[in-house]
Amino acid sequence: MNFTTKFITLLARYKNLTGKTSLYTNERVNLTTKFINLLAKRMNITGMIINHMPKRMNVAGMIMNQTPKALEFPGHNPHTRNPTTKHHQNLSTKQDIKEKERKLGGKMRSDGC
Protein backbone atom coordinates (compact mmCIF):
# COMPACT_ATOMS: atom_id res chain seq x y z
CA MET A 1 0.00 0.00 0.00
CA ASN A 2 1.57 3.27 -1.08
CA PHE A 3 0.26 6.48 0.40
CA THR A 4 0.88 9.60 -1.57
CA THR A 5 1.37 13.00 -0.01
CA LYS A 6 -1.89 14.06 -1.63
CA PHE A 7 -3.82 11.37 0.22
CA ILE A 8 -2.18 12.17 3.55
CA THR A 9 -2.82 15.87 2.98
CA LEU A 10 -6.48 15.34 2.18
CA LEU A 11 -6.82 13.16 5.25
CA ALA A 12 -5.07 15.79 7.36
CA ARG A 13 -7.46 18.44 6.09
CA TYR A 14 -10.40 16.16 6.78
CA LYS A 15 -9.17 15.60 10.32
CA ASN A 16 -8.59 19.36 10.69
CA LEU A 17 -4.93 19.01 11.60
CA THR A 18 -2.75 22.05 11.99
CA GLY A 19 0.43 22.30 9.99
CA LYS A 20 1.51 23.02 6.47
CA THR A 21 -0.40 20.87 4.03
CA SER A 22 0.13 20.76 0.32
CA LEU A 23 -1.42 18.88 -2.57
CA TYR A 24 1.90 18.68 -4.38
CA THR A 25 3.68 15.42 -3.76
CA ASN A 26 7.12 17.03 -3.94
CA GLU A 27 6.55 19.31 -0.98
CA ARG A 28 6.98 18.16 2.57
CA VAL A 29 4.02 17.77 4.86
CA ASN A 30 4.24 18.66 8.53
CA LEU A 31 2.55 15.69 10.14
CA THR A 32 3.63 14.05 13.36
CA THR A 33 4.64 10.43 13.56
CA LYS A 34 1.88 9.87 16.08
CA PHE A 35 -0.72 10.79 13.51
CA ILE A 36 0.85 8.49 10.93
CA ASN A 37 0.89 5.64 13.45
CA LEU A 38 -2.74 6.20 14.39
CA LEU A 39 -3.67 6.36 10.73
CA ALA A 40 -1.87 3.11 9.99
CA LYS A 41 -3.45 1.46 13.00
CA ARG A 42 -6.90 2.49 11.87
CA MET A 43 -6.27 1.39 8.29
CA ASN A 44 -4.68 -1.92 9.38
CA ILE A 45 -1.59 -1.43 7.27
CA THR A 46 1.01 -4.16 7.43
CA GLY A 47 4.50 -2.83 7.34
CA MET A 48 7.00 -1.32 9.69
CA ILE A 49 6.46 2.27 10.71
CA ILE A 50 9.44 4.04 12.17
CA ASN A 51 8.58 5.76 15.44
CA HIS A 52 11.60 8.04 15.83
CA MET A 53 11.92 10.59 13.07
CA PRO A 54 11.81 14.35 12.58
CA LYS A 55 8.40 15.93 12.21
CA ARG A 56 9.00 17.28 8.72
CA MET A 57 9.59 14.38 6.38
CA ASN A 58 8.28 12.94 3.18
CA VAL A 59 5.40 10.55 3.65
CA ALA A 60 7.19 7.99 1.50
CA GLY A 61 9.92 7.89 4.12
CA MET A 62 7.46 7.37 6.95
CA ILE A 63 5.82 4.21 5.71
CA MET A 64 8.20 1.46 4.68
CA ASN A 65 6.53 -1.47 3.00
CA GLN A 66 9.60 -3.64 2.63
CA THR A 67 9.12 -5.49 5.89
CA PRO A 68 5.91 -7.51 6.07
CA LYS A 69 5.80 -7.32 9.85
CA ALA A 70 2.84 -6.22 11.89
CA LEU A 71 2.80 -2.64 13.02
CA GLU A 72 5.04 -1.98 15.96
CA PHE A 73 3.43 0.31 18.47
CA PRO A 74 5.12 0.86 21.81
CA GLY A 75 3.40 -1.29 24.39
CA HIS A 76 0.99 -2.81 21.90
CA ASN A 77 1.30 -6.24 20.34
CA PRO A 78 -1.95 -7.58 18.90
CA HIS A 79 -0.50 -11.06 18.42
CA THR A 80 0.25 -11.73 22.08
CA ARG A 81 -2.84 -10.09 23.51
CA ASN A 82 -5.47 -12.53 24.71
CA PRO A 83 -8.59 -10.88 26.12
CA THR A 84 -9.84 -14.10 27.71
CA THR A 85 -6.74 -14.70 29.84
CA LYS A 86 -7.83 -12.62 32.83
CA HIS A 87 -11.24 -14.20 32.85
CA HIS A 88 -9.89 -17.74 32.86
CA GLN A 89 -7.35 -17.06 35.59
CA ASN A 90 -10.14 -16.54 38.12
CA LEU A 91 -11.80 -19.88 37.41
CA SER A 92 -10.88 -22.83 39.61
CA THR A 93 -9.84 -26.17 38.18
CA LYS A 94 -11.16 -29.46 39.52
CA GLN A 95 -7.92 -30.10 41.36
CA ASP A 96 -8.13 -26.70 43.08
CA ILE A 97 -11.68 -27.46 44.21
CA LYS A 98 -10.60 -30.84 45.62
CA GLU A 99 -7.78 -29.23 47.58
CA LYS A 100 -10.14 -26.61 49.00
CA GLU A 101 -12.60 -29.34 49.97
CA ARG A 102 -9.83 -31.20 51.80
CA LYS A 103 -8.83 -28.05 53.68
CA LEU A 104 -12.40 -27.19 54.64
CA GLY A 105 -13.21 -30.78 55.59
CA GLY A 106 -16.33 -31.07 53.51
CA LYS A 107 -17.72 -30.91 50.03
CA MET A 108 -17.94 -27.42 48.54
CA ARG A 109 -21.41 -26.52 47.41
CA SER A 110 -21.70 -24.86 44.04
CA ASP A 111 -24.74 -22.77 45.00
CA GLY A 112 -22.68 -20.82 47.53
CA CYS A 113 -24.94 -21.54 50.54
Q: What is the pLDDT of residue 78?
A: 53
pTM above 0.75, yes or no: no
- Rounded Cα gap, residues 70 and 26, in angstroms: 28
Percent residues over pLDDT 70 in the chain: 8
Q: What is the pLDDT of residue 3?
A: 53
Q: What is the pLDDT of residue 1?
A: 37
Q: What does each of the 113 residues of the chain score in pLDDT, given as a tens digit? A: 345 666 666 666 655 554 444 444 334 444 555 666 666 666 555 444 444 444 444 454 444 443 334 444 445 555 555 555 444 454 556 667 777 777 776 655 555 55
Q: What is the pLDDT of residue 10?
A: 63
In terms of Cα–Cα distance, which of 52, 63, 6 is closest to 29?
A: 6
- Rounded Cα gap, residues 113 and 110, in angstroms: 8
- Rounded Cα gap, residues 21 and 30, in angstroms: 7
Count Cβ atoms below 10 Å from residue 9 Cβ, excluding itself.
22
- Rounded Cα gap, residues 8 and 42, in angstroms: 14
Domain ranges of the chain: 5-64
Instruction: Say if residue 28 is exposed, middle or buried (CB neighbours under 10 Å; 0-12, 13-18, 19+).
Output: middle
